[in-house]
Amino acid sequence: MPTETSGKALSKAAIVDKALDLMEQSGLAAVSLRRIATELGVSAPTLYWYIANKRELLDAVAEHLLRRGAAGVATRPAEGQPWWEWLRERARTMFEAMVSVRDAPQVVAGNRPTPDALADIDTALGELVAVGFSAAEAQEAFFALGAYIGGAALEWQSEAVRELDGTDNPELRWAAQDDERYPHLAAALGGRARHDPKATFEYGLDLLIRGMRSRHEELR
């Protein structure tokens, strides 16, 4: 079996861990099989024993991130826990996991699960089926939640970059607070000192959960 030059056994997990290290240090643009091979002290072709191509690598990284996000949440509701609160908890934990790693939302977007993830996906779908959703509608609900979480996480990270770079235009904010020209916009902005992305995420998540509960009532 191929090994690293240090003598430590090479593995798919080691490759994924190194990809995550590179993402956190330099962003997604720095992640390549060649760069990972260099970091691990092996030749690039050696990695193909474990990872066929970059798309497969990114899917493996995405699965790792999603598993990390789900690690603190049960695969099914606790005894007596409403299904919607379980979903809310899952969504929050997943969101926090995604915003904690640089460019994670870009990696997770459009990924495909690996065979190792199918059992957990099936279990989660089964919880919604058990309370009255069809399997197809349960899947759509998870797709909708996933799309919202990913989009909100991407927006969060993009805003953080703008703030660090100092690329926001203060003149635009001042102009938007002109209550004679833009009364509704000025009123909205006047209600808070600055944008709170976490509060925005919670607001949108609550709307989604309320919508799912309303749909559930229609199915009863």
Average pLDDT by consecutive 10-residue portion of the chain (220 residues)?
A: 56 94 92 94 93 92 84 81 95 91 89 83 94 96 95 89 69 81 86 75 97 93
By the 8 A CB rule, do 128 and 82 touch? no
Q: Which two tokens stand for residue 180?
A: 């004679």
The predicted pLDDT at position 174 comes to 80
The predicted pLDDT at position 190 comes to 78
- Interior/surface letters 7-40, b for 16+ CB within 10 angstroms, e for the rest: eeebeeeebbebbbebbeeeebebbebeebbeeb
Global pTM value: 0.81
What domains lie within the chain, and their CATH numbers?
Answer: 1-52 (1.10.10.60), 73-219 (1.10.357.10)
The predicted pLDDT at position 8 comes to 56
The predicted pLDDT at position 112 comes to 82
